[in-house]
Chain A
Amino acid sequence: MVNFVTSILGGEAPDPLYILALINMSRLRYEKRRPWQVLKKVDSSQIVQGGNTYTTSFNLPTDFVRYVGESSLSEGSVVLFTEPDNKVTLTECPMELLLYEKNNWGKFAVDYGSRTFNICGLSPNQFNIYQYYIADFGDITLSTTWLRFNAYNPNFALLLCFDAAARWRLGTDYDDVAAFNAEDNGKMANEIFASMSTWDTELSLSTVNSLNYRGGYQDPRSQGPRGVRATS
Chain B
Amino acid sequence: MAKKGSSIKPIAPYVIGDPEQKTPWGGINTAIKDNRSLDRGQTYDELNWICGRDRDYVELRRGQALLGTTRRNIPGHVSGLGVGVDPQGAEVTFYSFNRSLMFFNNATQDTQEINTTNILPDAANDEDVSFTSYEGISWANMFATSKNSSVYKIPIANPDSAVDLQAQHRFNFMKINRGMAFAVDEKGNPDRGNTSLDGTSLWLSDQQSNDLADYPSHMSLPPAPTLVQGTGGSLADGTYYFVVTVFGLDGTETTPGAESSIVISGGGGSASVTISFPNVAGAVSYNIYGSTTPGTYVTPSKTNPIPILVNLGSQNSYNFIGPFLTGQPPSSSTQPLIPVIATGDGTTRTFSGILPSFSPTVFLVVITDGTEFFLDNGDGSFTGSLGGTGTINYATGAYSVTFNTAPTASTPITASFYTDDSHALTNFTVANQFPEADGAGKARAVLSYQGVEYSLHALRSWVFTVTQGATGNSYTNDPYYEQIGIPSSRSAFPTGDGILFYNNANPAQPTLSILQIPPGSTNLTVVPIVLSKDIDLSGFGSGQCVVYRWNEYDIIELQTVNDSGAANTYNSITFIRNWQSENPVWDILDYEFGCLGTFNGTLISGDSLSPNLFTLFSGFDDDEQIINNYRKSSYVDLDLPGEKKVRYVKVQGLIQPNQKLQFSLSLDEGAYVPYYTILGNGPYVGTTPVGIGTYTIGSNPDIIGGGGSGNPGSIGQIAYPYEVVIPVMTDKFEYISHQVKALDVGYVRVSRVEYMDIRWKRKRLSSVVDLQIDN
Judged by a CB distance under 8 angstroms, whether B349 is at the interface is no
Judged by a CB distance under 8 angstroms, whether B729 is at the interface is yes
- Per a CB cutoff under 8 Å, which of B1, B9, B760, B761 touches A182? B1
Is the Cβ of B1 less than 8 Å from the Cβ of A175? no
Is the Cβ of A11 less than 8 Å from the Cβ of B729? yes
Shortest distance from the beta carbon of B649 to any chain A beta carbon, whole Å: 12
Q: How many residues of A contact B (CB 8 A)?
A: 18
Interface residue ranges of B736-770 to A (CB < 8 Å)? 757, 759-761
Judged by a CB distance under 8 angstroms, whether B727 is at the interface is yes
- Given known contacts A183-B2, A186-B1, A175 and B647 CB-to-CB distance under 8 angstroms: no
Judged by a CB distance under 8 angstroms, whether A170 is at the interface is yes
Q: Which residue of A lies closest to B1 (CB)?
A: A183
Give complex CA distance A82, B2 in Å: 60
Interface residue ranges of B636-692 to A (CB < 8 Å)? 645, 647
- Per a CB cutoff under 8 Å, which of A9, A12, A179 touches B2? A179
Chain A residues, Cβ within 8 Å of B759: 173, 175-178
- Per a CB cutoff under 8 Å, which of B1, B645, B647, B727 touches A179? B1
Is the Cβ of A176 less than 8 Å from the Cβ of B729? no
Shortest distance from the beta carbon of A163 to any chain B beta carbon, whole Å: 13
Give complex CA distance A174, B727 in Å: 19
Give complex CA distance A113, B592 in Å: 77
- Per a CB cutoff under 8 Å, which of A10, A166, A182, A183 touches B647? A10
Chain B residues, Cβ within 8 Å of A166: 1
Chain A residues, Cβ within 8 Å of B107: none
Interface residue ranges of A6-47 to B (CB < 8 Å)? 9-13
Judged by a CB distance under 8 angstroms, whether A112 is at the interface is no
Chain A residues, Cβ within 8 Å of B729: 9-13
Q: Which residue of B lies closest to A177 (CB)?
A: B8
Judged by a CB distance under 8 angstroms, whether A180 is at the interface is yes
Is the Cβ of B1 less than 8 Å from the Cβ of A11? no
Is the Cβ of B647 less than 8 Å from the Cβ of A11? yes
Report A169-199 CB contacts with B as 1/0, cut-off 8 Å: 0100111111110110010000000000000
Is the Cβ of B1 less than 8 Å from the Cβ of A176? no
Is the Cβ of A176 less than 8 Å from the Cβ of B727? no
Report A199-232 CB contacts with B as 1/0, cut-off 8 Å: 0000000000000000000000000000000000
Shortest distance from the beta carbon of B473 to any chain A beta carbon, whole Å: 78
Chain B residues, Cβ within 8 Å of A174: 761
Give complex CA distance A58, B266 in Å: 167
Shortest distance from the beta carbon of B757 to any chain A beta carbon, whole Å: 8
Shortest distance from the beta carbon of B701 to any chain A beta carbon, whole Å: 49
Q: How many residues of B contact A (CB 8 A)?
A: 14
Give complex CA distance A183, B2 in Å: 7
Chain B residues, Cβ within 8 Å of A13: 729
- Given known contacts A170-B1, A180-B8, A175 and B760 CB-to-CB distance under 8 angstroms: yes
Chain B residues, Cβ within 8 Å of A9: 729
Shortest distance from the beta carbon of A90 to any chain B beta carbon, whole Å: 47
Is the Cβ of B645 less than 8 Å from the Cβ of A175? yes
Give complex CA distance A78, B760 in Å: 56
Chain A residues, Cβ within 8 Å of B761: 173-175
- Given known contacts A11-B727, A11-B729, A13-B729, A176 and B645 CB-to-CB distance under 8 angstroms: no
Shortest distance from the beta carbon of B521 to any chain A beta carbon, whole Å: 54
* Most chain A CB within a 10 A radius of its CB, from B2, B9, B645, B759: B2
Interface residue ranges of A131-188 to B (CB < 8 Å)? 166, 170, 173-180, 182-183, 186
Chain B residues, Cβ within 8 Å of A12: 647, 729
- Given known contacts A11-B727, A11-B729, A12-B729, A176 and B647 CB-to-CB distance under 8 angstroms: no
Chain A residues, Cβ within 8 Å of B6: 176
Shortest distance from the beta carbon of B272 to any chain A beta carbon, whole Å: 112
Chain B residues, Cβ within 8 Å of A180: 1-2, 8
Interface residue ranges of B1-37 to A (CB < 8 Å)? 1-2, 6, 8-9
Chain B residues, Cβ within 8 Å of A176: 2, 6, 8-9, 759-760
Give complex CA distance A175, B8 in Å: 10
Chain B residues, Cβ within 8 Å of A170: 1
Chain A residues, Cβ within 8 Å of B2: 176, 179-180, 182-183
Give complex CA distance A149, B8 in Å: 37
Shortest distance from the beta carbon of A186 to any chain B beta carbon, whole Å: 7
Give complex CA distance A186, B760 in Å: 22
Q: Which residue of B lies closest to A182 (CB)?
A: B1
Shortest distance from the beta carbon of B275 to any chain A beta carbon, whole Å: 105
Shortest distance from the beta carbon of A15 to any chain B beta carbon, whole Å: 9
Give complex CA distance A41, B1 in Å: 38
Chain A residues, Cβ within 8 Å of B757: 177
Chain A residues, Cβ within 8 Å of B645: 173, 175
Give complex CA distance A10, B645 in Å: 13
Give complex CA distance A178, B645 in Å: 11
Give complex CA distance A175, B757 in Å: 11
Chain B residues, Cβ within 8 Å of A11: 647, 727, 729
Shortest distance from the beta carbon of A227 to any chain B beta carbon, whole Å: 36
Q: Which residue of B lies closest to A170 (CB)?
A: B1
* Most chain A CB within a 10 A radius of its CB, from B6, B729, B760: B729
Shortest distance from the beta carbon of A18 to any chain B beta carbon, whole Å: 12
Q: Which residue of A lies closest to B10 (CB)?
A: A177
* Most chain B CB within a 10 A radius of its CB, from A13, A174, A177, A178: A177
Shortest distance from the beta carbon of B217 to any chain A beta carbon, whole Å: 86
Give complex CA distance A129, B94 in Å: 104
Give complex CA distance A136, B162 in Å: 97
Give complex CA distance A176, B647 in Å: 14
Give complex CA distance A170, B729 in Å: 17
Give complex CA distance A123, B2 in Å: 62
Give complex CA distance A179, B8 in Å: 10
Give complex CA distance A12, B729 in Å: 5
Q: Which residue of B lies closest to A183 (CB)?
A: B1
Give complex CA distance A84, B108 in Å: 111
Give complex CA distance A179, B2 in Å: 5
Shortest distance from the beta carbon of A87 to any chain B beta carbon, whole Å: 52
Shortest distance from the beta carbon of A32 to any chain B beta carbon, whole Å: 23
Chain A residues, Cβ within 8 Å of B1: 166, 170, 179-180, 182-183, 186
Q: Which residue of B lies closest to A174 (CB)?
A: B761
Give complex CA distance A174, B761 in Å: 7
Chain A residues, Cβ within 8 Å of B760: 175-176
Chain A residues, Cβ within 8 Å of B732: 173
Shortest distance from the beta carbon of A39 to any chain B beta carbon, whole Å: 29
Shortest distance from the beta carbon of B3 to any chain A beta carbon, whole Å: 9
Chain A residues, Cβ within 8 Å of B8: 176-177, 180
Give complex CA distance A11, B728 in Å: 9
Shortest distance from the beta carbon of A58 to any chain B beta carbon, whole Å: 47
Shortest distance from the beta carbon of B488 to any chain A beta carbon, whole Å: 55
Give complex CA distance A183, B5 in Å: 12
Q: Which residue of A lies closest to B732 (CB)?
A: A173
Shortest distance from the beta carbon of B196 to any chain A beta carbon, whole Å: 77
Interface residue ranges of B35-62 to A (CB < 8 Å)? none
Shortest distance from the beta carbon of B6 to any chain A beta carbon, whole Å: 8
Shortest distance from the beta carbon of A218 to any chain B beta carbon, whole Å: 53
A-B contact pairs, 9 of them (CB 8 A): A12-B729, A173-B761, A174-B761, A176-B2, A176-B8, A177-B8, A178-B759, A179-B1, A179-B2
Where the two chains meet, the residues of B that have a C-beta atom closer than 8 Å to any C-beta of A are 1-2, 6, 8-9, 645, 647, 727, 729, 732, 757, 759-761
Where the two chains meet, the residues of A that have a C-beta atom closer than 8 Å to any C-beta of B are 9-13, 166, 170, 173-180, 182-183, 186
For the complex of A and B, the 4 pairs showing the least CB-CB separation, nearest first, are A179-B2, A12-B729, A175-B759, A11-B727
Q: A178-B759, A186-B1 are in contact. List 10 more A-B contacts (CB 8 A).
A: A9-B729, A10-B647, A12-B729, A170-B1, A175-B645, A175-B761, A176-B9, A176-B759, A179-B1, A180-B8
